[in-house]
Amino acid sequence: MTFQDLMAGPPPTHLPEDPAAGLLDGSVDPAAVVRDHPESPLAWATLAERALADSAVDDVTAYAYARVGYHRSLDLLRRNGWKGHGPVPWEHEPNRGFLRALAALSIAATRIGETPEAERCAEFLRDSSPTGYDRLLPGT
């Protein structure tokens, strides 16, 4: 007889390959990729990261891009069995769009003064993927 370990957490969530991933190698503008693949967390995360890196782009714009990426990620996670918590490992490359959007949202929230949200996002990232947290939000 086998017993389920009731103390174990949920299994890791492994998202499917993002159809936009191959387009985001630097040769195509992320905004064009978003227009073709608005469901892509990776495309929105890339757009948010570029906005955060460009001092000419308002931080509110970066925040909006990151928030869309985050919400697209939540939809995708739920469709793939995620129940609102549990590991989303960095090591599984298709998960990185979600993790990058979450990190970008934390950074953008900090920049617009939304400290409680920035802290929640950073904690969510750490809980989802300690490796992703270390790579995306080092020193926080």
The Cβ of residue 95 has, within 10 Å, a number of other Cβ atoms equal to 27
What pLDDT is attached to residue 3?
Answer: 61
How far is Cα 104 from Cα 107, in angstroms, rounded to an integer? 5
Lowest mean pLDDT among 27-31, 41-45, 117-121: 27-31
pLDDT, tens digit, 9 for 90 and up, residues 57-87 = 999 999 999 999 999 999 999 999 999 999 9
Inform me whether the pLDDT recorded for 20 exceeds 80: yes
- What is the band of 34 on the pLDDT scale with cuts at 50, 70, 90? very high
CB 48 within 8 A of CB 62: yes
| Exposure class string for 17-26: b at 16+ Cβ within 10 A, else e | ebebbebbee
- What is the band of 5 on the pLDDT scale with cuts at 50, 70, 90? low
CB 43 within 8 A of CB 37: yes
pLDDT, tens digit, 9 for 90 and up, residues 97-138 = 999 999 999 999 999 999 999 999 999 999 999 999 999 999
What pLDDT is attached to residue 2?
Answer: 64
